[in-house]
Structures are given as structure tokens and as C-alpha cells.
Structure 1
Amino acid sequence: MIDSIFSKFLSALAASAMAALPVAAQAQNAEAQAEAQAQAQAPASPYDIPREVVMFEQQDPNVRSATAKVNGAVITGTDVNHRVALLLAASERTELAPEEMQQVRMQVLRNLIDETLQIQAAAAQEMAVSKQEVEQRYLGLAQQNFPQDPKQMDQYLASVGSSAPALKRQIEGELAWSNLLRRNVVPFINVSSDEVNETIERLKTSRGQYEYRIAEIYLSATPETAAAVQQNAGSIMEQIREGGSFQAYARQFSESTTAAVGGDLGFVRLATLPTEMAEVAQEIDVGQIVGPVAIPGGFVIMLLLDKRQVLTADPRDATLSLKQIAITFPEGISQDQANARVGEFAQAISTIRGCGDANRVADSVGASVVDNNSMTVRDLPEQLQSAMMQLQVGQATPPFGSLDDGVRVLVLCGRDDAQTADEPDFDQIMGRIEDERISKRAQRFLRDMRNDAIIEYN
């Protein structure tokens, strides 16, 4: 915007200024008319949209309805509320700022629209997901989260403001999309043996170089929607940085096929990534989240889960034989009492003389012992990995834990170091290439479904 600056003339110059005004005004009017004519003749945009538009219906941008009809199927405000609650529960978030909540609700609505399209398309192609399939998957999740009493799943969902039907609807959408991809995308993906062998040769050539395990949240964008999508991606990043689960947001928001696995791409080499992602990946540390990164077709939020050297033995792949010694605390114990108990526990642990002595020490302080003979260093929490790699057989980690979860130590009873890295597996390489191509084709497939849909907003 150009601001006009008006000056007051001194009274001594008033007469000459007024005398010149008609000529100056005519010149300015002529220039303005010429500029207006030039703008009217110039193309406004690739879509021939005028530069200046008049809206016949004025709307408050802060008032948006979160309901829609998708080819006649209704998405209610309750559907949106329950799905938002499900997302916040999975992300371990209790509340959001009003602006963030509005953005989340709009994104959830878009997800529900896509989900509805997928369910409708599967039904139209006679691949509708059966109620039995949904119930079976739901029961599996319930048993995973509440192994003692899977029926508690319904109660838990209600307690966080969601519902069992909301989660079952999401399950139905995922299964429907999987069915559609199997029929309409997967059969048309071809990867030749030559392509796989070339990839294997490149891996061998790059032995010792780093490969990166990256999780992604991909949001597609066009030039017209880029600003809004970038803003939305920034909001998602802030919510994750404030404690939200990356995997939960990836499942809800990512438009990549990796959404079903929390955005996990697995281990990839930088050369296989878009240039923009590769440049970022090599600059960040494990556990760091970055974005939104502009890539062809949209934006991506990246989380570096791990990195390793190609075809090189990694100390974290060593297989461990461990004894876990743990104590728990009775309900209502004071902090001073807990500290004294932990001190007694730590003193007893310091007297261990090898794994054969672990049970005796545990009995002396009323601790429990659990054996694990097939865990790798990589399976341990990141905070414990470096400590574990410094231990000698027979030694224990420092105590760790909390009042709620108990305090424990891990005693190293044996370690089988990885001597050589696995050679590239033909089937795994082929599967990775196929997944990449399926992901790209799936994005186009969903875009075509949106273009053909009749969507009404209330």
C-alpha cells in the first residue's frame, strides 16, 4: 500500500499553489485513468481472476460452521467434537488456545470429508467394510490398551469427550481406503528387478554413509492454498512442541500413506528424498522436529527418529540379556519416605556382584526381578541407550522411574554385539519402492475423488 502525504503550504505560497492546481489535477487524472486501463487489460492471474473484486456476500471470517454434507452424507458438529477429543487424548493434550482449536476443528472436518469419500467409494465398488471387520480391529485396540478389561475402552473414550462410534468410524475409513488402494492403485504399480538391483548396488556403493529414519506429516497444497496450508502446518508443529503426539497428528492430518503408521518412513537415504527434505534431515538431531518444509506439491513436517550408517554394524543393534530389578511404592507414601526407600534400593544395588547375585539383592529389599534375553540397545528409551553401551557385564544402570511407575534398574547379564550389518534385502527394497509409488498415486486418487464430490457446508 502506498500512503499519500499531504503538506500544508505556507500562506506566502498559497496563491501560486492554487493557480497550478487545475493543471496538476488534470495530469494526475490522466495518469490514473491510464494506469486503471492498463490494469484492466493486464491478465489478473492464470485463472483470469480480477485484481479488484467485490464480495456480494460478506461473511465474518471468525465464524465458521463445522458441519458438512458429502454427497448427501451428513457430518455433524458432534462428529467433529468427538474426533477432536480423540486427537487430543492421543496427543495427551487437555486444551488448546481458541485459534489453535479452530484450526484443528477445520482440519478434522477436512479429514472427515476425505474419510466419508473413501467409505462411499469403497461401497460403490462393492468393497464396503463390514461391521465385523471394524469390531475386530476395535477389539484389538481395546485389548492392547486395556489388556485386563477391554470393555474399559468405551468408558475411557467417553471420559475424554469422544466415543466408541467415533473411533470405529476412523477405523472404517482406514480399512475402506486400504481396500480402494488394493484395487485401484496397487495393481498398477510395477517395480522391475533391474530397478531393485540398481538400488542395491547404490546401497553397497554408499556403504558407511548415513541413512535416516524420518517421520512425516505431509499436507498437500496448490499455489492458491499454500499460505493457508503453511499456516495450518505451523499450528500443528506448535501443538506437537507443546506436548502433542507426532504419531497421533500424523494419523489424523497427514495425506501420505504413511499416516497409517504414524508417519514413519523407515530408514531412507538422503538421495531418495526430495532435495528440500534431504537438506533439512542432515542438519537436525535425532528427536528434533522441523517444518513446515516446502516441497513439490505441499508442505511436510519432519521428525528425525534415528540415523545409522548404511550397511555398517551399529552398536545399538547389539542383543542384550538383562535383569530388571524394580520396587514399587504404596499409595499415599510421602516424598521423604519414597526418597529413603530409593536410597535403600540404590545402596543394595551397588552391592550386586554379577547377575547371579541379582535375586539375592532383590529379596533383601523386597524388589521384583524380570528377565529379558532378547532386547537390543535400540529397543531401550533413548536416555538409557548411552548408559547401557557403557556398562560391562554384571553392572547395573543408575535407578530410574517415578512414584507412579516405580523405580528400577537394569543389570547387564550379556551382550552379543552386531558383527556385520545385514546386506540389502531384495524384497525389502522392492517393497520400499512400491510404497513410495503407491503413496504418490494414492494422493492423485484422493484428489480426483474430491474433485468429483458434491460437498455442502452448513
Structure 2
Amino acid sequence: MLPVVSTPNRMIPAVLSALRTLFLSSALIGVGMQGVSAQTVDDDNSGVSSQQLNLPKDVTVFGKSDPNIRKATAIVNGRIITGTDVDQRLALIITANGGKVEAEEKERLRVQVLRNLIDETLQIQEAAANDIKVDKAEVEQSYERVASNFRQSPAQFDQYLRTQGSSSASIKRQIEGELAWSRLQRRNIQPFVNVSEEEVKSTVDRLNAAKGSDEFRIGEIYLSATPENHAQIVANARNIIQQIQQGGSFQAYARQFSEASTAAVGGDLGWVRPAQLPDELAQAANGMQVGQIAGPIDVAGGVSLIYVMDKRKVLTADPRDSLLSLKQLSILFPKGITKEQASVKAASFAGAVKEIKGCGQANEVGAKVGADVVDNDNVKLRDLPPQLQDILLNLQVGQSTPPFGSITDGVRILVVCGRDDPASANAPDASQIMAQLEEERVNKRARIYLRDLRRDAVIEYN
């Protein structure tokens, strides 16, 4: 059995939430990569790779290579990546994870950050070699949008980054790399990608044939591995799961660690059916619930972690897309209240709300028990915590949830005042499907393009 764990369902500060969007920078600067398919690997299995390289069966290593000695900086085709560059980008990741990163994990992150900065440098250099320039004004505009996510001016955001050990230059460099690489793809890859009408029709037919079957919104972190380093890569993958369990951002880890083309969008594969995934991933996804992570899963060329972001039925109206009108009744506990005292007060509140017969009585009952009553309209059921979704799915108009909450946040109930069910879902039109297929192929070719840039690069480690 594959290890399957649930991610913690917790509220995070607005600043951390906004910072995590930095690792989805394609969305911030308008570079769409949604709907891509699952990771595919060009490398063959280890046996074939050994044959291609004509390697001896018994290998004797002459000299030493100490993996514990890590090079902090690099020169990429003459462009220097300094230790400060690495530290400032690393600080962004640590901040996005609430600062809760163990020393050993920090060292692994440092290695990955340097690797990402090398790729970023290669992308910017290749764009420049093709006369593609990113104006500073465009970078500044994107940076202003990032700052606005924090409800801060650029100057205030500069100061905030400095307090976290980072800088505006680090984020602007990342934005420049994303813009340059996306434009290079549009010039050198997209014009040469074609999707036929027959392929589009075949996809529509498959969607209609799959109507009513399960469809998942999957996040993936793919790590390449060889037979020699497989054990270490698996250990790294387990460390990533542990960090996410402790509150780390899946998207942040995918952005920095994943070697799939979807890394730029936080590992988001979009909505996929199990049949669209490699068999190993499909088997894991079929047994998972929303909010769970599975892995490490052995796939061709490496290992993957998958995260179920959401779940629905193909081309079927999903009741979780219903829009609800709700009344929320809540009571807060005074500071210093004991658990026993809170339980008594919560039980009294629960007894009182049982008397509610529809939203018409909610205000009256709320006044009796000293509860705050708030109206909430157009609440999408899917946006609520999974535990509440399951309860509200089975409630009729006028019925209420059981009390829920905590000593810190108080106790509350929700009363259903209205429900607008979603319309029946239709298959995407031909233009949408064609755009998705084209994007999948562009992403695959972009990965090969970057691999070739790495192969031809002159990189010196200091």
C-alpha cells in the first residue's frame, strides 16, 4: 500500500498565503499553463540507459566525490550566481512555509534553489540570444501586483522582504525569467505545434464516453532518479511529504523541487481522469480523497508525489458547485475558560439551536443565546472545508449543521436558507480542447529545450 496522508486544514496568516502565490508566478504574470497532462519522461528504464551508455556491469570508482560538500555558487555561461542570490531565494521559500524548516531540509532546499537559479539563468540567456527582451517596466508592473497581494505598496513590500532575509531583486529576477521563457516558447515552439481536428474529435468522444466517471484535480511533484540514487531520492520525497504534513505549501515545494513542466504552476495537472494518468499514478489516485497526498510512487525515470486538490464526476453536474445562502450563528468563549466550561456552554448552544425551524427563526434564537448572526449569500459549497461539505450536501433548506469550532475560535452553526443547484455540465468546446492539447505539447517540448540548454551550458561551481 502506498502511504496516503491528509494535509493539515488550518488557517494561515494572509501574508504567508499571499507569499505562496509567488511560487505560482506564471499566474501572476499571465503565463497560463493550466490543463497540462501528467508528467511523462523521455528517459528509458535503467537497463536501456546502461546499454545506451555502454557501461560495464561492475563499476570501480577512481577518486572521491563527497555528496556532503555542496557548492554554494556557480558561473553559468559567464553569469555569476552568488551566495546572496541563493540565500535570498531560499528565504522566500522558508517564509512561504512559515519559517518552520529544519536545518537538514534547509540544506536540501539550498541545493534545489541553486539548480533553479541555474535554469532561470539559462532561460534568460537563451531568450536574449533570440533577441527577446523583457522591459524593466513590465517587471515592475508584475512586482506591483505581487505587492498588492500583500495589500502593500512596492516600497512597503521591499521593506518586508528585507526583514525576511530576501529582496525585491530576487522576486524581480524570477518574474523576468518567467516572462522571458514564456515568450521564447511562443516564438520558438508554439508555431511548430499542430493539433488535428481528428485528435480534438477523439478527445471529445472519450470525454462523452467517460461521462459520470471520477475526475480529479491533481498536483504532482516529480523527481528524476537513477538506480544509483533511487534510495536517496525516495528519502527526499518522504521528507517533502513530512514538511507538507507539518503545514508546508505543496505548491511551493512543487515549484522548487518538481522536475515536471508543471512546476511553474505549483505542480497543478488540472482536471484529469485516471485513464489519462500513468498506471502507477492512476492506481493511487483512485483510492484517495480530497486533501490527501500519496507517494513516493515509482514511475518511469523517477518517483512522483500526487496530491488530490479536488474531485468531481466527468460531464456531470456536481452538487458541490451549488451556491448556498447561509446564516451563521456563533458564540465566542471568554479568555481563560476551561475545556469543561467551554463544553457546558457549547452543549447549551447546541440545545438552543435545535429549536431553529428555518432561517426565519435564526435571529430570534441567536438573540436568546447571545450569538452573533451573520448572513452569507452565494457561498460555493466547494469552497468550504471538506468536513462541512459532506454535512451540507445532505441538508435541506431550513436545516442546520451540528455545532463546530474550538475554544479559541468559538462555536458556530450554519443554517441553510437557500440552494441553487448547478446546471448540467457540458463537454469543453473544440477550441478549448485544441488549446489544451497544444499547451501539453508546448510544455513537453519546452522541457526538452531546457534539457538541451543544460547539456550545452558551461557551468563552473565555486
Q: TM-score normalised to the size of structure 1?
A: 0.78
Out of 393, 396, 400, which is 2:400 matched to?
396
SS in 2 for 1:395: coil
Identify the residue that residue 94 of structure 1 maps to in structure 2: 100
Aligned-residue Cα RMSD (Å) equals: 3.1
Identify the residue that residue 137 of structure 1 maps to in structure 2: 142
Shift of 1:298: 3.4
Q: Once structures 1 and 2 are overlaid, which stretch shifts more, 435-444 or 304-313?
A: 304-313
SS in 1 for 2:119: helix
1:194 correspondence with 2:198:
yes
The alignment-based identity, stated in percent, is: 55
The 8 Å contact of residues 366 and 372 in structure 2, kept in 1 or not, is answered as yes
Shift of 1:193: 1.9
Shift of 1:269: 1.6
SS in 2 for 1:87: helix
Shift of 1:286: 2.9
Shift of 1:262: 1.8
Q: Once structures 1 and 2 are overlaid, which stretch shifts more, 336-345 or 287-296?
A: 336-345
Out of 426, 430, 435, which is 2:439 matched to?
435
Identify the residue that residue 426 of structure 1 maps to in structure 2: 430
SS in 1 for 2:53: coil
The 8 Å contact of residues 327 and 373 in structure 2, kept in 1 or not, is answered as no
Identify the residue that residue 130 of structure 2 maps to in structure 1: 125
Identify the residue that residue 214 of structure 1 maps to in structure 2: 218
The 8 Å contact of residues 143 and 154 in structure 2, kept in 1 or not, is answered as no
Deviation sequence 1:192-226 (CA, Å, 0-9, x none):
22211111111212222222221111234566765
Out of 55, 66, 73, which is 2:62 matched to?
55
Identify the residue that residue 335 of structure 1 maps to in structure 2: 337
Q: Which has the larger radius of gyration?
A: 1
SS in 1 for 2:441: helix
Out of 376, 379, 383, which is 2:383 matched to?
379
1:413 correspondence with 2:408:
no
SS in 2 for 1:244: coil
Shift of 1:455: 0.7
Q: Which runs of 5+ in 1 are unaligned?
A: 1-43
Out of 299, 303, 309, which is 2:303 matched to?
299
Instruction: Map residues 209-358 of structure 1 onto 2, 5 A cutoff.
Output: 209-221=213-225, 229-326=233-330, 333-336=335-338, 339=342, 349-358=353-362
Deviation sequence 1:430-455 (CA, Å, 0-9, x none):
23322322221111011011111111
Shift of 1:123: 2.4
The 8 Å contact of residues 252 and 259 in structure 1, kept in 2 or not, is answered as yes
Out of 107, 118, 126, which is 1:113 matched to?
118
The 8 Å contact of residues 327 and 368 in structure 1, kept in 2 or not, is answered as no
The 8 Å contact of residues 70 and 113 in structure 1, kept in 2 or not, is answered as yes
The whole-number CA distance in structure 1 between the counterparts of 2:446 and 2:107 is 28
The 8 Å contact of residues 355 and 413 in structure 1, kept in 2 or not, is answered as yes
Shift of 1:238: 3.1
1:169 correspondence with 2:178:
no
Flag the 1:143–1:399 CA change in 2: closer, same or farther, 3 A.
farther
The whole-number CA distance in structure 2 between the counterparts of 1:353 and 1:441 is 60
Corresponding residue pairs, total: 409
The whole-number CA distance in structure 1 between the counterparts of 2:260 and 2:247 is 23
Letter of the structure 2 residue corresponding to residue 92 of structure 1: G
The 8 Å contact of residues 71 and 454 in structure 1, kept in 2 or not, is answered as yes
Letter of the structure 2 residue corresponding to residue 207 of structure 1: K
The 8 Å contact of residues 289 and 301 in structure 1, kept in 2 or not, is answered as yes
The 8 Å contact of residues 221 and 297 in structure 1, kept in 2 or not, is answered as yes
Q: Report which structure shows greater RCO (CA 8 Å, sep ≥6).
A: 2
Deviation sequence 1:154-182 (CA, Å, 0-9, x none):
44433443333323322222222222222
The 8 Å contact of residues 286 and 307 in structure 1, kept in 2 or not, is answered as yes
SS in 2 for 1:434: helix
Letter of the structure 1 residue corresponding to residue 117 of structure 2: L
Identify the residue that residue 203 of structure 1 maps to in structure 2: 207
Identify the residue that residue 79 of structure 2 maps to in structure 1: 73
The whole-number CA distance in structure 1 between the counterparts of 2:142 and 2:411 is 34
The whole-number CA distance in structure 1 between the counterparts of 2:324 and 2:423 is 14
Identify the residue that residue 27 of structure 2 maps to in structure 1: none
Flag the 1:102–1:325 CA change in 2: closer, same or farther, 3 A.
same
Identify the residue that residue 11 of structure 2 maps to in structure 1: none
The whole-number CA distance in structure 2 between the counterparts of 1:252 and 1:272 is 25
Q: Once structures 1 and 2 are overlaid, which stretch shifts more, 343-352 or 390-399?
A: 343-352
The whole-number CA distance in structure 2 between the counterparts of 1:223 and 1:438 is 30
Deviation sequence 1:351-403 (CA, Å, 0-9, x none):
54433444555566362624322x32212111210111122212333444456
SS in 2 for 1:293: strand
The 8 Å contact of residues 399 and 415 in structure 2, kept in 1 or not, is answered as yes
The whole-number CA distance in structure 2 between the counterparts of 1:222 and 1:189 is 31
Deviation sequence 1:27-63 (CA, Å, 0-9, x none):
xxxxxxxxxxxxxxxxx9653556454535x454322
Instruction: Map residues 10-89 of structure 1 onto 2, 5 A cutoff.
Output: 46-48=52-54, 51-53=58-60, 55-56=62-63, 58-89=64-95
Letter of the structure 1 residue corresponding to residue 320 of structure 2: R
The 8 Å contact of residues 207 and 427 in structure 2, kept in 1 or not, is answered as no
SS in 2 for 1:335: coil
Shift of 1:283: 3.0
Q: Once structures 1 and 2 are overlaid, which stretch shifts more, 199-208 or 80-89?
A: 80-89
Letter of the structure 2 residue corresponding to residue 189 of structure 1: V
